[in-house]
A = this chain, B = another copy of it.
Amino acid sequence: MSSSTDSISGLTVDIRAFAQERDWEQFHDPKSLLLALVGEVGELAELFQWVPAGDAVAAFSSAERQQRAGEEISDVLIYLLRLADVLGVDVGAAASAKLADSRERFVAHDVRGTAPEKR
């Protein structure tokens, strides 16, 4: 087990060990992991679906609701890191690079207060 709960690579190693100890690596091809991820995203979506958009943060501010959200977010993260691991992707480095790239594509003073549009 990793020494820190804040390390992406440490969490990745823990998840890999969890799969290995159960001989579940055989099920962890990318398409299966993606569908498992979609299942967890669905559970996360269900938590929020009928909450009015403006009330969502407040509605999840109690310790019990925050924990529920944290569990579902964790399930998504676990499959996402497992997928990255299976593909040999260093997701911490990749996410930092993506963020740096976004800083260049969306220059702060050009886009201030305007959501990027998808058409």
Contact = CB atoms under 8 A, between A and B. Distances in A.
Nearest to A39: B46
Contacts of A29: 53-54, 56-57
Nearest to A50: B115
Given A53-B31, A99-B15, A43 B45 contact: no
Interface of A: 4-11, 14-15, 18, 21-24, 26-27, 29-32, 34-54, 56-57, 60-61, 66-71, 73-78, 80, 83-84, 86-99, 102-103, 106, 108, 111-113, 115-119
B89 A73 contact: yes
A31 to B, nearest CB: 5
Contacts of A26: 113
A78 to B, nearest CB: 6
Contacts of A71: 94, 98
A10 B88 CA distance: 22
Given A5-B92, A76-B76, 5 more contacts: A29-B56, A34-B44, A36-B49, A41-B42, A77-B80
